[in-house]
Amino acid sequence: MTRTPVSRRLPDFPWDQLLPYAATARAHPDGVVDLSIGTPVDPTPAVVQQALRDAADSPGYPTTLGLPETRQAAIDWLARSHGVTGLGLDGVLPVVGSKELIAGLPTHLGIGPGDLVVLPEVAYPTYEVGAALVGAETLATDSLTAIGPRTPALLWLNSPSNPTGRVLPPDHLRKVVQWCRERGVLLVSDECYLECTWEAEALSVLHPSICGGSHEGLLAVHSLSKRSNLAGYRCAFLAGDPAVVAELLAVRKNLGLMMPGPQQRAMVAALDDDDHAREQHARYAARRGVLKQALEGAGFAISHSEASLYLWATRGESCWDTVAALAEQGVLVAPGSFYGRAGAQHVRVAFTATDERVAAAADRLA
Ligand SMILES: Cc1ncc(COP(=O)(O)O)c(C=O)c1O
């Protein structure tokens, strides 16, 4: 019997389609301005680097549960910066970057064929990858009524959104929480851009005004990658319903999914320090301003984009035409179709590039 490779179950890895445009953009005499991916480029904060160095001696195994100090730092940060109350040490679990958690969650929860996973209409692709891996059905919609009478096994929210930068209003969040609770649906809210807000305030699903003070049936996913330029460290955590956290812990500890000890110490330093996050926020705000003005000057309309690290831009044409035209100018952006059919006329422009490269993009667009 020949086995079907697992990779066949997964959606096509779309980035390969961008390679010819990347080659065009790289041929620009002043070099490429790569705004296609949201990878941080500024230094990892000194306070976090020092914490990692101080924790370098680490001969023993870390635990999947994580250090109490690491979980407490997550609780304290959520309380201090995001008004989350009622979270105990049993409601937090460190994960090895949030992508790992997102892709593995349906597997770890025993979701499978015949189950439905609901994700945003235009979405970070890994929600679909996780569902496809276990053979679950997916529905990409922002409308609860579109789900009909079915009871999903899992419903993903992502506010602020990658790629659109949209922040879901509190009323919408409350409605989704209530809908999920009435049906016993697990609601998982990917909040990795919660602090990357520019023209809106974003609330965690665990905020008492959204969840009514109980975390039952709710998980929030947080990542230090963007807030603290820590994508290389793989520092993230989930927080919420202790019963769900306990089940995930019971599964994940059998799989060796543990955040390395030195990274756990580094995450404490990152969560405890707000100064570097404020500095980084100001850098991104300035880059966003420059690019937004340049894109609007070049005839683009910016949709949503009130938060996250992206401008969701359209010229009312196929996203691939926009990608091609910008590549000719040496600017590489991501086609909206990577994120769902509804993105077919948008491009996603990341502002995670240096000031110098952002200025170069603005010059080229002028
Ligand atoms: C919406 C969203 N969730 C999760 C991630 C993964 O972040 P990480 O694995 O670095 O924590 C990203 C990365 O870009 C993202 O955009």
DSSP class per residue in 308-331: SSEEEEE-SS-HHHHHHHHHHTTE
Q: Dump pLDDT digits (tens) for 275-302.
A: 999 999 999 999 999 999 999 999 999 9
Q: Is the CB of 36 under 6 A from ligand 1?
A: no
Q: Is the pLDDT of residue 162 over 90?
A: yes
**CB 225 within 8 Å of CB 40:** yes
Q: Is the pTM of this model over 0.95?
A: yes
Instruction: Give residue 29 CA to ligand 1 midpoint distance, Å.
Output: 32
Q: Is the CB of 124 under 6 A from ligand 1?
A: yes
Q: Is the pLDDT of residue 173 over 90?
A: yes
Q: Dump pLDDT digits (tens) for 191-209.
A: 999 999 999 999 999 999 9
Confidence of residue 12 (pLDDT cuts 50, 70, 90): confident
Q: Dump pLDDT digits (tens) for 228-255.
A: 999 999 999 999 999 999 999 999 999 9
Spatial CA neighbour of 38 closest among 365, 251, 284:
284
Q: Is the CB of 97 under 6 A from ligand 1?
A: yes
Best of 95, 162, 222 to mutate for ligand 1, by most ligand atoms within 8 A of CB? 162
| Mean pLDDT for the chain overall | 97
Return the axis-axis angle of helices 242-252 and 98-108, rounded to nearest 10°: 90
Best of 36, 102, 190, 192 to mutate for ligand 1, by most ligand atoms within 8 A of CB? 192
Write the single-letter amino acid at 148.
Answer: G
**In whole angstroms, what is the distance from residue 22 CA to residue 33 CA?**
10
**In whole angstroms, what is the distance from residue 78 CA to residue 169 CA?**
19
Residue whose pair of structure tokens reads 């659109």 in the numeric block: 164
Instruction: Give residue 192 CA to ligand 1 midpoint distance, Å.
Output: 6
Mean pLDDT of 45-64: 98
Instruction: Give residue 76 CA to ligand 1 midpoint distance, Å.
Output: 22
Return the ligand 1 atom nearest residue 158 CA.
Answer: 1
Best of 225, 233, 235 to mutate for ligand 1, by most ligand atoms within 8 A of CB? 225
Q: Is the CB of 233 under 6 A from ligand 1?
A: no
Q: pLDDT at position 147, please?
A: 97
Q: Dump pLDDT digits (tens) for 327-365.
A: 999 999 999 999 999 999 999 999 999 999 999 999 999
Q: Is the CB of 263 under 6 A from ligand 1?
A: no
Return the ligand 1 atom nearest residue 236 CA.
Answer: 11
Q: pLDDT at position 14, please?
A: 83
Residue whose pair of structure tokens reads 């970057």 in the numeric block: 97
Mean pLDDT of 247-271: 98
Q: Is the pLDDT of residue 1 over 80?
A: no
Write the single-letter amino acid at 366.
Answer: A
Report the nearest-CA residue for atom 16 of ligand 1.
162
CA angle 125, 128, 129 (to 5 degrees): 85
Q: Is the pLDDT of residue 13 over 90?
A: no
**In whole angstroms, what is the distance from residue 204 CA to residue 83 CA?**
8
Confidence of residue 2 (pLDDT cuts 50, 70, 90): confident
